[in-house]
Amino acid sequence: MSEVWLVRHGQTEWSRDGRHTSVTDLPLLPEGEEAARGLAPRLAGTVFDLVLTSPRQRARETARLAGFADAEVEPDLVEWAYGEHEGVTTEEIRRTVPGWTVWHGDVPGGETAEAVGARLDRVVARCRAVDGRVLLFSHGHALRVLAARWLGLPASEGRLLRLDPATVSVLGAERDEPVVLRWNA
């Protein structure tokens, strides 16, 4: 079974402020750029057989600054489509929908957890077809869903896996069972 390294993009204005960001293509903040550059020595020296990135500039720029400017764009790695919640914080949503979460709540005009999971299942299948290491640059909710699907869990169980900007996580196997090898490092 392959080993899959996950990198969440560096910080943007909206990720800093807790705003749901999918289709809004924001640049990295200066501190996000610095954190992305800091990934380069952590990833250097590791051979990756496949490197993929979300098409969003925040993920592509993180890949470039981390030393992977030639990462292949994979459309399925885009962030959860938040629909009418784009640019809105959870706190703001909960003013009208108490207890709302993206994991179990309605996302008007956006994707359900199951739809995101189905999309990321294609990425998981692509990763499992590689006999070696895969490196993915993507987004917080998308990578959490991908990890849940890697483990054979429903997409909504990504809620259990907090993921900070510009971090590295690694999925793999132990005795042929999918596991988390490292998380949010």
| Structure confidence at residue 11 (pLDDT) | 98
- Domain annotation covers residue 28: yes
Q: Do the domain assignments include residue 90?
A: no
Catalytic option among 9, 20, 85, 139: 9
Tens-digit pLDDT profile for residues 38-55: 999 999 999 999 999 999
CATH number of the domain that residue 139 is part of: 3.40.50.1240
Q: Does some domain include residue 101?
A: no
Q: What is the pLDDT of residue 102?
A: 97
Note if 79 is an active site residue: yes
Any domain includes 70: yes
Burial of 47 (C-beta count, 10 Å sphere; 0-12/13-18/19+) = exposed
Residue 33 falls in the annotated catalytic set: no
Determine, yes or no, domain membership for 68: yes
Q: Whole-prediction pTM value?
A: 0.97
pLDDT at residue 71 in the model: 98
Condensed to tens digits (0 to 9), the pLDDT of residues 98-117 reads 999 999 999 999 999 999 99
> How many other CB atoms are found less than 10 A from the CB of residue 55?
13
Which amino acid belongs to residue 44? A
Is 96 part of any domain?
Answer: no
Please give the tally of structural domains in the chain: 1
Q: What pLDDT, on the 0 to 100 scale, is given for residue 118?
A: 98
1 vs 180, higher pLDDT = 180
Mean pLDDT of 139-162: 98
Q: Which domain holds residue 154?
A: 3-81+113-182
The active-site residue, picked from 3, 33, 74, 79, is: 79
Q: Is the pLDDT of residue 134 over 90?
A: yes
Instruction: Give the pLDDT score at 8.
Output: 98
Look at residue 114 in the predicted model and tell me its pLDDT.
96
Evaluate whether residue 27 is within a structural domain: yes
Nearest to 126 by CA among 144, 103, 149: 149
